[in-house]
Amino acid sequence: MNALTIVPLLLAIAIAALISALITWTSRPLLQRYALARPNARSSHRIPTPQGAGIAVIAATLLVASAWAAWAGVAIPQALVIATIVIALVGFADDIVSLPVLVRLVLQAACVGAVVFNAPEAARIAPALPLALERGLILLAGVWFVNLVNFMDGLDLMTVAEVVPVSAALLLLGLLGDLSWPAVSIATALCGAMLGFAPFNKPAAKVFLGDVGSLPIGLLLGWCLLELAWRGQASAALLLPSYYLTDSTITLFRRIARREQFWSAHRSHFYQRATDNGFTVSQIIGEVFVLNLVLAALAILTIYADSETVTLLAMLGGAIALAVVLRRFTRTHAA
């Protein structure tokens, strides 16, 4: 780690934030006209709000990450860039005219598959498994991760509170030599782009990400975490996004067990139940943000302690922290 590396990365964050904020600000009138999210019984907002600012976040991320990678002499996988653009277009179409569930899933799987199956054969998490089986499992996990980011993006600043700590931790791991530079460039630019979007999404939000933002954010962040797992740091790759993973996965299985239409809109996520239980949006976002900082610290600890015992304790600590927050969200909160 040195100043010659840190300064360009900090500059990349600032430029990505500026580009994201500028595009969000200039595109909001068009989104207000053509991509308005009207509240319903399952919404967390109460007034019609434009959606689609993910266009700004994804554009800023890809532009700045590509420029930084070119300056650093590293290559971002072309399949990732193309898949991100395609999945953003799918999300934008769904923001304007709701697409059938099967169509969305097929297109998402094609995008995730293009990234996963174009990876080098040497990139492995579990070498004992046949390569085709491992890649198939990663494909399923990738489609779920893309969708869970979309499912969890249902509250002002929620995805900012998730993505900023995770991407900042990935940036730090890159500076310390534990993440590939292409992944560092994506994480850095995404962190900045989300910071630029944040002022427009703070309660009460002036604009939402929309599917055009949440889906490709899930793809980009998932790829960065996959890169971390491919470098032998699977525990850290699980800890970093574990709030989103836990909330969405538990909610999914509970809805399946109740024989609900789990693919339809609902208010069953823990953070949604928290709003019904008296938590303010700021309180929920604050707790999620602090939780993600704790999870990021534990993830970094698993790498630098280089001990199976410490890794197990860190995973246990993360599980306890998650359980405390999720349990709080299910309890009535006094004003």
One DSSP character per residue, 32-46 reads HHH-EE---TT-S-S
Model pLDDT, residue 43? 57
**pLDDT, position 7:** 87
What is the number of alpha carbons within 13 Å of residue 284 lying toward its C-beta?
32
Q: What is the pLDDT of residue 1?
A: 47
80: CB partners within 8 A, 6+ apart? 115, 186, 219, 220, 223
Structure confidence at residue 330 (pLDDT): 93
- Please tell me the distance from the alpha carbon of residue 152 to that of residue 168, in angstroms, as a whole number: 20
Residue 105 sits at the vertex; the CA angle it makes with 101 and 110, to the nearest 5 degrees, is 155
- Exposure string of 47-83, with b = 16+ CB inside 10 Å and e = fewer, is eebbbbbbbbbbbbbbbbbbebbeebeeebbebbbeb
**Which tokens in the block code for residue 102?**
């099967």
* pLDDT at 6 (0 to 100): 85
Q: 22 by DSSP, 3-state: which?
A: helix
Determine the pLDDT at residue 309. Answer: 95
Query: Which two tokens mark 133?
Result: 């089986």
Tokens 């969890």 — which residue? 152
Q: How far apart are CA 198 and CA 208, in angstroms?
A: 10
* Residue pair 87/108 in contact by the 8 Å Cβ criterion: yes
Phi and psi at residue 126, in whole multiples of 5°? Answer: -125, 85
Q: Which residues of the chain have pLDDT under 70?
A: 1-4, 39-46, 262-265, 334-335
DSSP state of 51: B
Tokens, residue 37:
């999210």
pTM of the entire structure? 0.94
Q: What sign does the dihedral 315-253-103-40 (CA atoms) show?
A: negative
- What is the enclosing helix (H) or strand (E) of 50? strand 49-50
Token pair of 185, please?
Answer: 């460039």
